Structure 1
Amino acid sequence: MDDLVSEYICWKYNPDSQPQPASDSVNGWEFSIQVINIYSLTHEATIYRDSETKAMSALVQSGYLPASPESLSVAVSLRTLELFYAARLFKPNFSVEAFAKTVSHLCSEPYRRAYCTALSDTFDIYLAILRKINSHVAKELGQDSLDYCVLNSCPPCTYELEDEPIQTFSCMVVVDGNNSLKRLDGVGKREVSDTRVFGESNYYLSEEFVNTFADEVAARPKEKPAVEDEDEDFEGDWVDEVHGDPTNGDANLTLQRCTDNWKAAAADGAKRMWDAFRESGYFVMACHHGSILWVADMVRSGELAKYPLAMVAKALEVFGPRWLLGYDIGCSFGGTIRHSSLGPKFEQKGCHTCVNAFHGYSHCVFCQQIYHPLNITGMGLKDLETLERLFSASNQLASITRYMSPYRRHVFINLFLQQWDCDKYQNVATMLHNNYIQALDLLQKYRDINASYENASSSFRLHTPSDYQFLSDAASYSVNLSDGRKAETRHRYLREQWDRTLFEITQMETVMNIDRRWESNDREYKEAVDYMNTRKYCRALERLHKLVVQRLFELHKMNLSNTGYKMRTHISNALQRLKSYNTAAQALNPPRNTLDWSKLSHFTFLDQFNILKDTRHSVFDQPWVKPVVRSLMKQHRQIERAREEIIHCDIGIRRLHTSITDEEKKFKAILKTLDSPMLGPVSDFIQRRQAVNQLLLARIHRTYNLPGFTGNPTPGKQKGSADIPEPEATALEANIDPHSDDGEDEDDDEFTEGVGAVVDFMSNISLQ
């Protein structure tokens, strides 16, 4: 492998230094080999070498990589592998088989399975070469220390500066599991022939480390529900009856409803891991800007407590104090942490948990008041739904990793995560810029809100409907005559129904020996009617609540093909059938408000379900129940979070600016002293990084020029770094035009893709 790495570096970065022996100077050492080359479309190549050059080295020098180190039967051009590598970075579901068929088509040859095998084996070697080179580059740049990527991948989170204000939370991280990236187990529990172990990832936590937390939480005894739900779509239960899920360590009964919603709305794959799969998905921790911290395989189980506990253990080891953990069941998981062996250290460091903004609306009101990001001081406008965006992207891998060996599955997931982090770093300035604009817009809306309410009130009092018209006497007579005939027809129909019902009641009274029939003014009759109406209302409301929660958990799949279509269709259709709920609501005394689809589609309506359920004593006279008051309460909290978000963005942008400036100085120093074969790969890495940094600086300077910017528009000094004189503007900043990316601005997926757009929409929805 070391020889291959050296030869590849020479071919890639020093092509002129490659020995190219002529055919007439070689005495029988040349050889021909079948090749796959998408550029030349040739089927065979002649490789020239001398007696001192190995056949493998001669192939790489000529721009080919063999599928096997010993049996040189077929080779793939390095440029072809580079093309496939680049395509896979930006299209994760582009399989080796699809690429092999593409090459066969271009070569005007029928596809053979051997082409796919050759490409797959050669691509493994190519990726191993790249990983070796990347490790050498990291060593030359001083980026090979333990946990370097975790501590440096996101400068706005970790690049602390001197003299910056202390934040409530030093950083914010999120955890969650995804069950799309399953892998089929071997037939008869026999493993596949590929027994290699992929241990070169900076992301993966070992299965052995995760299992050290397997006994921290015991599974709760299964409880049979008091009333069976005939409409329940999912069946089955957790396979692991020994180790608990992340909610089993919390004894707080008040939050039990949140836990029930989380389990009830979980997908069937998370509730019942079929015996056919070994890896049932993966569990992830990331910072709130999107950079991946750690990943662990979920093995033959759903989201057991050991997976997030392992992530928390690593975070407690690596990070400082006062960090915040977001989880869709963060309310209950906080109790689980405190009841585990990690509890004392978690409390000592002043760490906290919360729920994600989007999933948080399915939690009870009591939970939302404490754990929802909108109600937590110091949170800013964070929604903590980062991993929903990650899972929406990584689901593309599911179609090609399902049948892979464990080694190749880890390789492809690791490759995807690396590119994800590169994209997140390139977009981090855009994300901060958009967050700044969002916070400023909220503050501007706050200034106009009083005038808006006054205008709305005046408009309602003075407005006359455009379709209002007076009726003449003749028109009034015709309308009354038609209404009279309809009333007479309905009277006849109801009379027939009354006779039939009276006959059935008389028969029932005779059979049951009932002497006296209840009248409508009897106390027993009124109590029975109230009980029946209340029960119908509660059942209709519970059914509606379940459908809305299910839709909430399925929403992030809306833009994905072949994902949950049947379930989404079922939920969408069921949600529109509101007649049963409205009928039950009107039958109560006093009647409850009815619902329509426009109200129900606003997902923040979930926080009103507990109010609607209160049928034993009226709370509708309380000020906080009124929609206007509730809307103002929410907008008030949004304004508070917006002010915090501006401070967060000021700190994050300056941290990013400082890290780019310091990195540029470091790059210059390394390039001056580096004199080794790694000069080519290091220079290539630096060139690509500088190009990204220049885009980031352009966006940073645009943020500095925003009306209302309150931060420091100059780079600072990293906390704990050496005391060095303030540098002049770097070459990257010398020619920066703050408007250079106008017209080419791509909004971060925080605001435009998948769940992110819905979360932002939800945060501004009025409850009226």
Structure 2
Amino acid sequence: MKKSHTEADRGIFDETGIFVATCRHMFVLWALDMIKSGEQRKYALAFLHRFLSAIKEERANLGLRSPGKKAFGYDIGCQLQTTLDTSPLQPLAEEENARMVTGSLHGHAHNRLCQLKFLLSYINGCGLEDLEVLERLFSLSNALAMAIRHASKFHRRQMISSWFYHHDNFEAYANLSKFIYNNYRQALTILEAKDSVISRMRAIGVLDGKEIFGWLDEEKEYLESRREEPEEDLNRMDLYVKQVKLNECRARLEAAHSAFIAYNPSDYPANVKRTNAVEQTMRHEQEKEEKLMSEVHFLERRLELKEPWTEDSEEWKKAEEMFKNHSYRKAVNRLEGLIVARIFELSKMHMAGTGYKMRQHLGKALKTRSKAIQEAVRTYNTAAAKLSPPREALSYDEVVEKAYVSELDFLKDTDSNIHEKIWAVPANRVLMTEYFKLFRASEELDRLHVEIHRLLTYMKEEQEYLRAVELNISENNPQLAYQVSLYRWERGRFNDLHRLRLRNIISLPGFDDTNRRFFRAGVGLKCQSQGEDERADDNMGEEMDVDRVNGEDDSDSEGEEGDIQAEAQVTAILGVAVD
């Protein structure tokens, strides 16, 4: 989406690409064309408006009062959050408890302060989701580009929508239980390290997990302080700067006044008019002098000075030394914030479990940010040379080659010693990451239990509904009934595979038997308005479905032979063996 590429595309195509929204299971919610533009925030705002409006309407129809929290992932979710807060959608987003977050792949390429606010690892309720579903979806759909490149507008949209339909029904739905199974296994694997994390926490003197949450607050406060100027004696330094500028302005005014007096029009050719230019220069310097004098008088009254400063006065010398030290500390703080954030992100690059693509993505982001570090090094060297005695100059290579905060000697001159921060120790940062993974894994299990219960309920009620519709219209409209049966077989061809995978979750190491209650079909919203007799029948069917999923029924049709038969049916339909 580089500007140079999109500008070239606009001369050929009206549609420069598609903007897509999906759920975390890779089902496509909406897709729209980007017309004569690159990727812009207006498309994301349009999706947010449509989704939040639909959720609000559904909540009102169901009589639900309290909206749940909703997280929306976007590559630049931090910037989109700022746009959302200032847009007309802000009241709706606040009412629906919606907020933007950044995915794991793109989020780690943002600066550290942004990560602390928007990265999924530090946001309660996000589980183990990485919010990079669209990266995988676009990778799957790359083969579609050759077919639609020279298609008409109608056929292009037709092929894209047909591909999405096929993907949702034969890819996303078929892999739905696989997604649940893999996430469940991943969460249990992470939770196995709980005892190890607790023992390492006690080894460094952390007895309460709230201390680690405090580390995040301290780090956020520290990084924010690196962006702000210290408040100490700002008025005195401001007065010193204004007086220096005033003296320089008076020197220029004196030179301009002398030039105006010595100006003789006869010294120039008749066609050269310099009188106005010389007079204008002198008048501009006079206006600047009056403005600076007004500002100096204001600061003098604010500081309650009895007499103005001169270059020989002690107050002037103290303010001059204070300003030099302030400029130096400001340059150090700026460089410190950039270097510390870079080192922390480098630790993520070399952390176990970080994939190749993540490393490449982080490397490109750090390379781009190195320009800011180069500028900060130049500013630091300028400020360090003005000190008495002057500090040693730094080189860019010397700074970026450091791997640990303790190796940066110039940070000892800062007003906050980061060497003493417990959260800056590399081993403790790894521990902090593992600690938050435990929270996210526990949240993921809670979410998966809801999804398992809903999936079993959905499969049961959808098949019952389609059978009822097919039976109801079979006599009067057999052709339509046949189409309903085809659709029922299409939807139900993966149900046995889903049940097998969900049953395999129960046999995973570390599974808690108390969670078996989630592995049963319930009653959907459309069926909750039925009478008591019908609900009783549903409950009987529900208990039978529990036995089927848990493998506790002793009958031949639902026991081991039933499993083998179901596996054979799935294998015959899909052409693959079931693990």
Alignment of 1:177-576 (within 5 A): 237=3, 269=5, 273-320=9-56, 321-322=67-68, 323-422=70-169, 423-449=171-197
Tell me the secondary structure at the aligned position of residue 463 of structure 2: helix
Match of 1:694 in 2: 496
Cα deviation for residue 688 of structure 1 reads 2.5
Residue 660 in structure 1 maps to residue 459 in structure 2: yes
Taking structure 1 as reference, are residues 595 and 280 closer, same or farther at Cα in structure 2, changes over 3 Å only? farther
Match of 1:719 in 2: 525
d(CA) in 2 for partners of 1:614, 1:330: 35
Cα deviation for residue 587 of structure 1 reads 7.9
Query: Contact 2:197 / 2:434 at 8 angstroms: preserved in 1?
Result: no
Cα deviation for residue 674 of structure 1 reads 2.4
Alignment of 1:625-636 (within 5 A): 625-636=424-435
Taking structure 1 as reference, are residues 595 and 453 closer, same or farther at Cα in structure 2, changes over 3 Å only? farther
Q: What does the per-residue CA deviation read over 1:140-166, in whole Å, with 9 as the maximum and x for residues that have no partner?
A: xxxxxxxxxxxxxxxxxxxxxxxxxxx
Residue 678 in structure 1 maps to residue 480 in structure 2: yes
Letter paired with 1:396: A
Cα deviation for residue 277 of structure 1 reads 2.3
d(CA) in 2 for partners of 1:361, 1:403: 37
Taking structure 1 as reference, are residues 540 and 324 closer, same or farther at Cα in structure 2, changes over 3 Å only? closer
Residue ranges of structure 2 left out of the alignment (5+ in a row): 57-66, 204-320, 381-391, 550-556
d(CA) in 1 for partners of 2:337, 2:12: 38
Taking structure 1 as reference, are residues 297 and 744 closer, same or farther at Cα in structure 2, changes over 3 Å only? same
Query: Contact 1:690 / 1:732 at 8 angstroms: preserved in 2?
Result: no
Q: What does the per-residue CA deviation read over 1:420-442, in whole Å, with 9 as the maximum and x for residues that have no partner?
A: 21211111111111111111111
d(CA) in 2 for partners of 1:380, 1:409: 37
Letter paired with 1:418: Y
Query: Contact 1:694 / 1:732 at 8 angstroms: preserved in 2?
Result: no
d(CA) in 2 for partners of 1:354, 1:386: 14
Taking structure 1 as reference, are residues 720 and 399 closer, same or farther at Cα in structure 2, changes over 3 Å only? closer
Tell me the secondary structure at the aligned position of residue 29 of structure 2: strand
Query: Contact 2:15 / 2:34 at 8 angstroms: preserved in 1?
Result: yes
Cα deviation for residue 386 of structure 1 reads 0.8
Taking structure 1 as reference, are residues 539 and 363 closer, same or farther at Cα in structure 2, changes over 3 Å only? closer
Query: Contact 1:541 / 1:613 at 8 angstroms: preserved in 2?
Result: no
d(CA) in 1 for partners of 2:94, 2:411: 36
Q: What does the per-residue CA deviation read over 1:347-378, in whole Å, with 9 as the maximum and x for residues that have no partner?
A: 11222211112111122222222211111111
d(CA) in 2 for partners of 1:430, 1:687: 20
Query: Contact 1:392 / 1:556 at 8 angstroms: preserved in 2?
Result: no
Query: Contact 2:457 / 2:522 at 8 angstroms: preserved in 1?
Result: yes
Tell me the secondary structure at the aligned position of residue 426 of structure 1: coil
Match of 1:703 in 2: 505
Cα deviation for residue 451 of structure 1 reads 6.4
Taking structure 1 as reference, are residues 704 and 540 closer, same or farther at Cα in structure 2, changes over 3 Å only? closer
Taking structure 1 as reference, are residues 539 and 399 closer, same or farther at Cα in structure 2, changes over 3 Å only? farther
Match of 1:75 in 2: none
d(CA) in 2 for partners of 1:539, 1:330: 22
Taking structure 1 as reference, are residues 732 and 282 closer, same or farther at Cα in structure 2, changes over 3 Å only? farther
Tell me the secondary structure at the aligned position of residue 280 of structure 1: strand
Moved more, 614-623 or 399-408: 614-623
Tell me the secondary structure at the aligned position of residue 298 of structure 1: strand
TM-score by structure 2 length?
Answer: 0.56
d(CA) in 1 for partners of 2:412, 2:52: 42
d(CA) in 2 for partners of 1:680, 1:397: 32
Match of 2:387 in 1: none
Query: Contact 1:657 / 1:700 at 8 angstroms: preserved in 2?
Result: no
Q: What does the per-residue CA deviation read over 1:9-31, in whole Å, with 9 as the maximum and x for residues that have no partner?
A: xxxxxxxxxxxxxxxxxxxxxxx
Match of 1:161 in 2: none
Taking structure 1 as reference, are residues 682 and 720 closer, same or farther at Cα in structure 2, changes over 3 Å only? closer
Cα deviation for residue 315 of structure 1 reads 0.2
Query: Contact 2:104 / 2:119 at 8 angstroms: preserved in 1?
Result: yes
Tell me the secondary structure at the aligned position of residue 493 of structure 2: helix
Taking structure 1 as reference, are residues 612 and 708 closer, same or farther at Cα in structure 2, changes over 3 Å only? farther
Cα deviation for residue 274 of structure 1 reads 4.0
Q: What does the per-residue CA deviation read over 1:193-227, in whole Å, with 9 as the maximum and x for residues that have no partner?
A: xxxxxxxxxxxxxxxxxxxxxxxxxxxxxxxxxxx
d(CA) in 2 for partners of 1:640, 1:556: 22
Query: Contact 2:339 / 2:400 at 8 angstroms: preserved in 1?
Result: no
Residue 669 in structure 1 maps to residue 405 in structure 2: no
Query: Contact 1:279 / 1:297 at 8 angstroms: preserved in 2?
Result: yes
Alignment of 1:148-163 (within 5 A): none
Cα deviation for residue 612 of structure 1 reads 11
Taking structure 1 as reference, are residues 381 and 539 closer, same or farther at Cα in structure 2, changes over 3 Å only? closer
Cα deviation for residue 287 of structure 1 reads 0.9
Alignment of 1:23-62 (within 5 A): none
Query: Contact 1:381 / 1:642 at 8 angstroms: preserved in 2?
Result: yes
d(CA) in 2 for partners of 1:540, 1:331: 19
d(CA) in 2 for partners of 1:348, 1:335: 17
Letter paired with 2:437: Q
d(CA) in 2 for partners of 1:698, 1:666: 23
Q: What does the per-residue CA deviation read over 1:740-766, in whole Å, with 9 as the maximum and x for residues that have no partner?
A: 4899457xxxxxxxxxxxxxxxxxxxx
Query: Contact 1:333 / 1:353 at 8 angstroms: preserved in 2?
Result: yes
Cα deviation for residue 671 of structure 1 reads 2.5
Taking structure 1 as reference, are residues 277 and 732 closer, same or farther at Cα in structure 2, changes over 3 Å only? farther
Query: Contact 1:401 / 1:409 at 8 angstroms: preserved in 2?
Result: yes
Query: Contact 1:290 / 1:424 at 8 angstroms: preserved in 2?
Result: yes
Taking structure 1 as reference, are residues 277 and 613 closer, same or farther at Cα in structure 2, changes over 3 Å only? farther
CA RMSD in angstroms, aligned pairs only:
4.8
Q: What does the per-residue CA deviation read over 1:25-72, in whole Å, with 9 as the maximum and x for residues that have no partner?
A: xxxxxxxxxxxxxxxxxxxxxxxxxxxxxxxxxxxxxxxxxxxxxxxx
Letter paired with 1:336: T
d(CA) in 2 for partners of 1:612, 1:288: 45
Residue ranges of structure 1 left out of the alignment (5+ in a row): 1-178, 180-233, 238-267, 456-522, 560-566, 600-604, 747-768
Query: Contact 1:328 / 1:359 at 8 angstroms: preserved in 2?
Result: yes
Letter paired with 1:687: W
d(CA) in 2 for partners of 1:353, 1:539: 25
Letter paired with 2:72: L
d(CA) in 1 for partners of 2:409, 2:494: 50
Cα deviation for residue 715 of structure 1 reads 1.3
Among all aligned residue pairs of Structure 1 and Structure 2, give the percentage whose two residues are the same amino acid: 25
Letter paired with 2:427: V
Match of 2:447 in 1: 648
Tell me the secondary structure at the aligned position of residue 174 of structure 2: helix
Query: Contact 2:197 / 2:435 at 8 angstroms: preserved in 1?
Result: no
Query: Contact 1:655 / 1:715 at 8 angstroms: preserved in 2?
Result: yes
TM-score by structure 1 length?
Answer: 0.43
Cα deviation for residue 594 of structure 1 reads 3.5
Cα deviation for residue 400 of structure 1 reads 2.3
Greater share of helix: 2
Tell me the secondary structure at the aligned position of residue 319 of structure 1: helix
Query: Contact 1:280 / 1:300 at 8 angstroms: preserved in 2?
Result: yes
Letter paired with 2:511: G
d(CA) in 1 for partners of 2:393, 2:425: 21
Taking structure 1 as reference, are residues 389 and 440 closer, same or farther at Cα in structure 2, changes over 3 Å only? same
Cα deviation for residue 405 of structure 1 reads 0.8
Cα deviation for residue 330 of structure 1 reads 1.3
Letter paired with 2:50: K
Query: Contact 2:16 / 2:35 at 8 angstroms: preserved in 1?
Result: yes
Cα deviation for residue 399 of structure 1 reads 2.2
